[in-house]
Structure 1
Amino acid sequence: MRMISTLIRFSRRQLHTIVSRDIIKPSSPTPTHLKTYNLSMFDILVMNTFTPIVSFYPNTTTYASFHDKTLDLKKSLSQTLTKYYPFAGRLPKTAPTYVDCNDHGADFLEASIDSTLSDFLQKSQHEDLNQLFPHGLVWYESNKNYHDQSDSHVSPLAVQVNRFECGGLAVAVSLSHKIGDASSLIRFLNDWAKVTQSSSCSIEPHFISFKHANINFPGVSTEGSKECVTRSFTFSNKRLNDLKHKVITMSIESGQAITNPTRVEVLTWLLYKCAVGLDSFKPAGIDLLANIRRTMLEPIPENSIGNFVVLIEVDTKNENEMQPGYFISEIKKKKRELGGLKDLETACGHYLNKLSNGEIEDHQRRFDADAAYMCSSMCRYGLYEIDFGWGKPMKVTMGGYLGINTFVLMDTANGDGIEALVCLEKQDMDRFQSNSEVQAFC
């Protein structure tokens, strides 16, 4: 009964109180020649949302008080923004193609949470994470929730530092997807953490300001009215190795033998197969986000900030194409095709050609038929290296509504597996959680 009442408490109450609001500006002004940062084609084409990542830290004796911690965070953020100068600028709210790097600063909020950290992590649901983020800037509702609706521009970066009753902290950061992908946000968090530990450390993010692009492609509408929920599933490396063995055996038996499938590939197949298979088979498709920074023949630095991802599409038109041999072979083939791209200009042309060939319309039709899926992997991105001087985080995750039929893969805290965030329609989630194949490897 006590557990039930606690869960009801989390689901029905506002757990946070904002105790302060501030604007953190760069400690040094941005040079005149860097005042306008032009977005790339990839930036322009992504949805105009905010990416939300939160990291949790237990209470330590490193600082005498919460106030001292936040003072250090503000100071180090100010220093970090001199290198991440577009993050401290202003972005047009509608159809942005550039950032005005005017040093107006990033929003910084402090909040008090009516819960201990352990209670929150053990007894809350994914939806409770939204309270930890500034201004409700979590994915699809970002611009609707932005605190100043009268302003035609928005701050690309917002931070909320949350203090729990036990002294533990949650650092929640929302970054406009228009100026950076998940890799960019995680690199920023790690750089900010390094500066907090040592103000003299060197950080060198790589920004590429593109020629002004005039691109007008309709986006895919993903704001359906269906009630969706997100739940977390953890797969140990031992279970993933068992899954690899099963996949290899199945591929040999089907005459579509594959060798050396990765953890991410086999887990993507399992999640997709089980989600699509909740009902009788229907043609469907999945988009996988692929980081192209290092895969091109002329790669760009790994510390490049922006949206340097393209979609790998795999369609399953019949049950044979749902077999792991075919499915994973298609992923590998399309990854090899990306590796043949010469440079960013070639990658842009490749992507525009795909969009011109009606792929947006095809994707919209799949989405409308509830047959469009998405998978993004943040494994090996350094999520659990974000150490502000209080030790590494005990938990890092994404907040908000991820989008219907979406899977997000992340390393576990101990590095011994993969955590999958799965967002499905509520009635589908109930069946997915009890799926025997999911349970066998989870």
Structure 2
Amino acid sequence: MEIMKPEIISRQTIKPSSPTPDSKKNYKFSVLDQLTPDRLYGGVILFYQNKEGDNSVDVAHISSVLKKSLSETLTHYYPLAGRIKDGVTVECNDEGAYFSEARVDCHLEGFLKHPEARDDVDLIVPGEIQSNSSDMGNYSDHLFQLWRNCDWAALGNLVKRRFVFDAVKLGALKAMATQSGVENPTRVEVVAALIYRCAVDASKVSSGSLKPSVLRQIMNLRKKIVPPLPEKSFGNILWTYGIHTTPRHEFHASVGQLKAGLAHFCDTYGKNFTGQELIRLMFKEEAKSAHSNDNHHVNMYRCTSWCRSSLYQTDFGWGKPIWLSPTGVGSKNIICLTDTREGDGIEAFVTLEEQEMAVFERDEELLPFSSLN
């Protein structure tokens, strides 16, 4: 099944429902926001079923509801309606947020029944997030340059595939790790470890050599620091931990390293995550990276988990989504984990270079535990 290119119906800018006070006109990025690499955008597409029949959809009403909701939300999250004026500040000038409407020439039911169509799901996004690199400043060229030897942002023929791990297969993966001495492995840890191991194998087969590899697991800091931050805290309140390794590790070893990395972070930094502590962490990680990489390029894999989030509870007035898909990351070696709709399984959206994906999706270690699409 071929997904047709979306037809743009309208584009406009939605302003906050009430003006931002003068006292809040300048929003300075936190240290974490400033350290986040620019031009990395992650989005999500939510799919909703029309339960009343095709002919009863009131598109104008739906659009009006969304615009009103967005306008009122921007009053509380006013930096999103502003513009970046340098590398560290948002000018909260109420210029507004981008809003577009588009039509796709296909039926949702047919789309969901054809897994091969989901590979082109990004085509449903009607516009691209534009970023002027000069607006972002040169912050990443000062401090630390943690990622300078890594080629995760290199462009190429990228392919995204969806792999489903059901509850039974997750249980089997966790049992494998437990039997090898890992205590209480999580669903995310076992899936991330297996995908990482298989991706490293695919890279080796594709290139003919084994490159040093790094898996960085992205974590939400809101509940990892003491005292915990409110769940609705705004910004890039995240950090990474993970596996720095050159040789091919066993599955259970990778699971154990992920678990140990999280525990180390929480014990070492989570209880005293001040600006000074963050800078010390950055220098420590930079020194480790520079030493271990020996100035050679490293295959950087990044894994982010949206599991246990409330995305499947997103209701704009016509029910909860029947499926969701992350989109718009735009770089290679990305692993994004989400819950299945039922909540007991995991969907892994993996982006690799085309040649590596051709090997990865046939991996005999991966296939017994997951279903492609």
Provide the TM-score with structure 1 as the length reference.
Answer: 0.73
Gaps of 5+ in 2: none
Moved more, 293-302 or 408-417: 293-302
- Of all paired residues, the percent bearing the same amino acid is 33
Could you say which residue in structure 1 is the equivalent of 2:188?
A: 264
Name 2:235's counterpart in structure 1. 306
CA distance in 2, matches of 1:365, 1:375: 23
CA-CA distance at 1:64 after TM superposition: 5.7
Q: Does 1:431 align with 2:355?
A: no
Q: How far apart, in 2, do the equivalents of 1:67 and 1:391 lie? A: 18
Task: Name the CA distance, whole Å, in 1 between partners of 2:355 and 2:140.
Answer: 42
Q: Find 2:31's aligned residue among 41, 46, 54.
A: 41
Higher relative contact order (CA 8 A, sep 6+): 2
Q: What is the match of residue 223 of structure 2?
A: 294
Q: In structure 1, which of residues 81, 85, 96 is the aligned counterpart of residue 78 of structure 2?
A: 85
Residue of structure 2 in register with 1:189 after alignment: none
The one of 104, 108, 111 aligned to 2:99? 108
From the superposition, tell whether residues 125 and 354 of structure 1 become closer, same or farther in structure 2 (CA, over 3 Å): farther
- The amino acid across from 1:131 in the alignment is L
Cα deviation digits, residues 242-270 of structure 1 (max 9, x gap): 11112222x2xxxxx22111111111111
Describe the SS at the equivalent of 1:419. Answer: strand
Q: What are the superposed Cα offsets for residues 331-363 of structure 1, whole Å, 9 maximum, x if unpaired?
A: 222212221321343552343323542637967
Deviation at 1:372, TM superposition (A): 2.1
User: How far off is 1:224 after superposition?
Assistant: 2.2
* Inter-partner Cα distance in structure 1 for 2:350 and 2:278: 30
The aligned residue for residue 377 of structure 1 is 305
Match of 1:32 among 6, 22, 30: 22
CA distance in 1, matches of 2:5, 2:77: 32
How much has 1:374 moved relative to structure 2? 1.5
Partner AA of 1:409 in structure 2: L
SS in 1 for 2:214: strand
Counterpart CA distance in 2 for 1:214 and 1:230 is 30
Does the 8 Å contact 2:112/2:118 carry over to 1? no
Describe the SS at the equivalent of 1:285.
strand
**2:365 aligns to what SS in structure 1?**
helix
**Structure 1: runs of 5+ lacking an equivalent:** 1-5, 155-177, 179-211, 252-256
Instruction: Determine the structure 1 residue equivalent to 2:108.
Output: 117
Q: What is the Cα deviation at residue 311 of structure 1?
A: 1.4
Decide which of 147, 151, 173 is 1:243's aligned counterpart.
173
* Rounded Cα–Cα distance in structure 2 between residues aligned with 1:355 and 1:310: 12
**Alpha-carbon distance in structure 1 between the residues aligned to 2:118 and 2:218:** 23
Partners of 1:111 and 1:365 in 2: CA distance = 46
Q: Does 1:226 align with 2:156?
A: yes
Q: How far apart, in 1, do the equivalents of 2:360 and 2:166 lie?
A: 19
Q: Which amino acid aligns with 2:102?
A: A
Cα-to-partner distance string for 1:32-77 (whole Å, 9 max, x where unaligned): 1111110012111212222221101111349761101111111111
Deviation string 1:281-326 (CA, Å, 9 cap, x unpaired) is 554221111222111223221211111111113122334xx12343
CA contact (8 A) 1:127 1:399 kept: no
Give per-residue Cα distances to partners, 1:198-250, cap 9 Å, x unaligned: xxxxxxxxxxxxxx99954445464424312010000011110011112222x
Which residue of the other structure, out of 270, 281, 284, is the alignment partner of 2:213? Answer: 284
Cα distance change, pair 21–283 in 1 and its aligned pair in 2 (3 A): closer
Letter in 1 for 2:170: L
How much does 1:122 deviate?
3.7
Correspondence list, 1:203-222, <5 A: 216-218=143-145, 220=148, 222=152
Provide the rounded CA distance (Å) in 2 between the counterparts of 1:365 and 1:271: 26
Number of residue pairs matched by the alignment: 354
Contact 2:8–2:126 under 8 Å retained in 1: no
The answer to whether residue 345 in structure 2 is matched with residue 421 in structure 1 is no
RMSD of equivalent CA atoms: 2.9
Q: Does 1:143 align with 2:161?
A: no
Query: Does 2:197 align with 1:273?
Result: yes
Q: Deviations over 1:178-215 (max 9, x none)?
A: 9xxxxxxxxxxxxxxxxxxxxxxxxxxxxxxxxx9995
- Give CA deviations for 1:128-183 in whole Å, capped at 9, x if unaligned: 3333324322xxxx437xxxx9xx769xxxxxxxxxxxxxxxxxxxxxxx9xxxxx
Partner amino acid, structure 2, of 1:75: K
Q: State which drifts further: 278-287 or 21-30.
A: 278-287
Q: Which moved more, 1:384-393 or 1:123-132?
A: 123-132
Q: Which amino acid aligns with 2:131?
A: N
- Corresponding letter in the other structure for 1:270: L
Conserved 8 A contact 1:21-1:107: yes
Q: Is this contact kept in 1: 2:335–2:349, CA < 8 A? A: yes
- Are the aligned partners of 1:24 and 1:107 in contact in 2 as well (CA < 8 Å)? yes
Tell me the amino acid that sits aligned with residue 38 of structure 1.
Answer: K
